[in-house]
């Protein structure tokens, strides 16, 4: 049976493609007669082939390059890579940095191979010459690639002098080479390429900066480079950077340097200050149990933890710590006026909340739902006991809070579910699936996911209508709901009880007030901004809030438009 001209042309093109592919694969399997230029062109063609995503393709190609460098590149893999590095910029900016990184990183596993040791030593001179060409802007590589070359080829001052002045080197040639490199360092500093400058300074022992350079590094947030340069300069500069860290409250970095360089005598308080800072961060997150463990029964730290609890107005935690560690004397020694008990926080009195109602039986549930059904806008939040074991599942949701601007209901889900799950399901479906009630939350869909995981038999947490996630309206705000409250209402939320035991019964009055506040504040934030026709996600970008109202019915989510 004969074939058409089109089919013959197609077969011809297919054969040509297979021949080219075979040639490419053969080239990768034997580099002995493949030039660096040809190899780089093949590398680019391989990368362009196919429709896969860039990152997986890059990783696969990197593995191929590692294998290929074992296949007899002449005169050796290190020299071959340097030759390739001269070709890479010709492929264009799209490929230059990625391919350069691929080539250099592929040499790592070859350093320990004895058979290529001679090539590595010979290639150091060529790599040094390439580095000089990059510094002189003859070969346009990124500065990060220059640093990688210095590290991959273990370039020393003698290698740079060899590239500059030849093989017969005297001490004066090393001095000249250092002065030559110093000029490049000064140019880098003028162009504010501080990290590259530090790499050259420390590798080639170039003295050209004073403490003002340290200030510049830190002002530009180059802390790792600042530490590297300070260590190169010696103890006096290390002490200076530690002091600067202390001034800007970077206590962890200061503490690490003190330990690394045995400077406890010079900075005796740094370790304690660092421990205090850890406790403060944990307390702000409400991780009091972890904070107590970190204090490790050190009296001063435990006293500081008590102070933090008092400052946050968390008096039940104060009593608990005092009883456990006999710290009543410390508490009595404090001057109450010196402790700010939550004055910077929103409280329920300011929001004029009429009542907080605890609901743990069916009649109370029915009455609460009847009240909520008459509300146009409600705030919704929930709490569960924290689980600090890594990799373990979250605990069951313990309570759900629903609030109007006047009343807050706290539902004991654990007990209500045990008493009558059908009635609980029916009641909450009346709220969650109502198209007449706007339900406000902060990352509420995450809470609903947790609710559905905790109470999988209930359908009330799997479908909803008229849900508005306040978080999505204020993506530029930081600090969670507390930060948003501070931005809109002028004061944040006291989050110290966030990780308390929400399964204990009865909850303390402070726990109830905390839980109620998280729901009611959503209503007040919304009321504060709803009068504006539009309010923004970020500065200069306005979004109509109604477009963010969503519903999900029978596991399908679709935005409701108005």
Residue pointed to by tokens 């104060």: 318
- What is the rounded distance in angstroms from the CA atom of residue 260 to the CA atom of residue 115? 38
Write out the chain's pLDDT in tens, 562 residues. Answer: 445 544 445 444 444 444 444 434 455 677 888 899 999 988 888 888 777 787 888 888 888 888 888 888 889 999 999 999 999 999 988 888 999 999 999 998 888 888 899 999 999 999 999 999 999 999 999 999 999 999 999 999 999 999 999 878 888 999 999 999 999 999 999 999 999 999 999 999 999 888 999 999 999 999 999 999 999 999 999 999 999 999 999 999 999 999 999 999 999 999 999 999 999 989 888 888 899 999 988 999 999 999 988 887 778 888 889 999 999 888 888 765 555 554 567 877 778 888 999 999 999 999 999 999 999 999 999 999 887 677 678 889 999 999 999 999 999 999 999 999 999 999 999 999 999 999 999 988 788 889 999 998 899 998 889 999 998 888 766 678 888 888 888 888 877 777 788 999 999 888 899 899 999 999 999 988 876 554 444 444 444 678 788 888 765 444 443 3
pTM for the model: 0.67
Q: Output the CA–CA distances (angstroms, integers) from residue 150 to 147, 176, 204, in the order listed.
A: 5, 19, 11
What is the pLDDT, as a whole number, of residue 554? 61
pLDDT value at position 162? 94
- CA–CA distance, 363 with 367 (Å, rounded to integer): 6
Q: Compute and round to an integer the Cα radius of gyration of the chain.
A: 33
Cα distance between residue 306 and residue 304, in whole Å = 5
Nearest to residue 494, comparing CAs of 387, 349, 341?
341
Instruction: Give 115's DSSP letter.
Output: G
Q: Taking Cα atoms as reference points, which of 342, 321, 345, 344 lies closest to residue 331?
A: 321
**Predicted pLDDT at 536:** 44
Which two structure tokens, joined as six digits, stand for 334? 């404090």
Main-chain phi, psi angles of 49, to 5 degrees: -70, 140
3-class DSSP assignment, residue 384: strand
Q: Between β-strands 397-403 and 377-384, what pairing exists: parallel, antiparallel or unpaired?
A: antiparallel
- Residues 73, 31: contact at Cβ < 8 Å? yes
According to DSSP, the β-strands at 464-469 and 535-538 are unpaired
């Amino acid at each position: 049976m004969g074939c058409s001209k089109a089919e013959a042309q197609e077969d011809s093109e297919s054969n040509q493609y297979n021949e080219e592919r075979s040639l490419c694969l053969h080239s990768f399997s034997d580099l002995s007669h493949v030039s660096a230029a040809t190899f780089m062109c093949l590398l680019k063609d391989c990368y362009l082939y196919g429709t896969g995503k860039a990152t997986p393709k890059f990783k696969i190609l990197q593995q191929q390059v590692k294998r290929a460098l074992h296949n007899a590149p002449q005169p050796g893999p290190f020299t071959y890579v340097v030759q390739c590095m001269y070709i890479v910029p010709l492929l264009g900016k799209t490929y230059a940095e990625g391919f350069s990184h691929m080539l250099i990183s592929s040499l790592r596993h070859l350093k320990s191979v004895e058979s290529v040791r001679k090539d590595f030593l010979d290639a150091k001179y060529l790599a040094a010459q390439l580095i000089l060409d990059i510094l002189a802007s003859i070969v346009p590589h990124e500065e990060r690639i220059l640093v990688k070359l210095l590290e991959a080829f273990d370039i020393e001052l003698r290698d740079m002098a060899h590239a500059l002045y030849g093989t017969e080197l005297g001490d004066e040639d090393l001095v000249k080479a250092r002065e030559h490199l110093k000029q490049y360092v000064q140019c880098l500093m003028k162009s504010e390429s501080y990290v590259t400058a530090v790499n050259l300074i420390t590798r080639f022992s170039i003295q050209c900066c004073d403490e003002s350079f340290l200030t510049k590094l830190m002002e530009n947030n180059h802390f790792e480079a600042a530490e590297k340069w300070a260590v190169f300069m010696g103890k006096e500069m290390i002490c200076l950077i530690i002091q600067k860290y202390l001034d800007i409250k970077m206590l962890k970095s200061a503490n690490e340097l003190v330990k690394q360089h045995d400077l406890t005598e010079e900075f005796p308080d740094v370790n304690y200050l660092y421990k205090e800072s850890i406790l403060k961060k944990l307390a702000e997150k409400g991780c009091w149990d972890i904070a107590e463990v970190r204090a490790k029964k050190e009296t001063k730290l435990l006293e500081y933890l008590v102070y933090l609890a008092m400052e946050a107005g968390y008096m039940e935690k104060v009593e608990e710590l005092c009883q456990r560690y006999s710290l009543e004397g410390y508490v009595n020694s404090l001057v109450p006026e010196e402790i700010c008990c939550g004055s910077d926080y929103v409280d329920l009195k300011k929001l004029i909340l009429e009542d907080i109602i605890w609901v743990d039986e069916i009649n109370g549930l029915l009455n609460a739902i009847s009240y909520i059904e008459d509300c146009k806008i409600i705030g919704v939040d929930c709490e569960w006991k924290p689980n600090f074991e890594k990799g373990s599942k979250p605990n069951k949701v313990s309570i759900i809070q629903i609030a109007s601007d006047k009343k807050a209901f706290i539902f004991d889900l654990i007990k209500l579910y045990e008493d009558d799950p059908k009635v609980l399901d029916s009641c909450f479906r009346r709220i969650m699936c109502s198209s007449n009630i706007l339900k406000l939350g902060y990352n509420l869909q995450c809470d609903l996911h947790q609710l559905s995981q905790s109470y999988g038999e209930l359908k009330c947490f799997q479908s909803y209508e008229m849900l508005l996630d306040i978080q999505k309206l204020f993506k530029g705000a930081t600090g969670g709901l507390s930060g948003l409250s501070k931005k809109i209402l002028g004061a944040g939320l006291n989050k110290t009880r966030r990780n308390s035991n929400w399964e204990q019964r009865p909850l303390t009055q402070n726990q109830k007030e905390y839980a109620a506040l998280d729901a009611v504040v959503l209503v007040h934030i919304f009321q504060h901004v709803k009068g504006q026709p539009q309010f923004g996600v970020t500065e200069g970008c306005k979004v109509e809030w109604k477009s963010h109202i969503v519903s999900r019915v029978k596991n399908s989510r679709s935005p409701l438009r108005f």
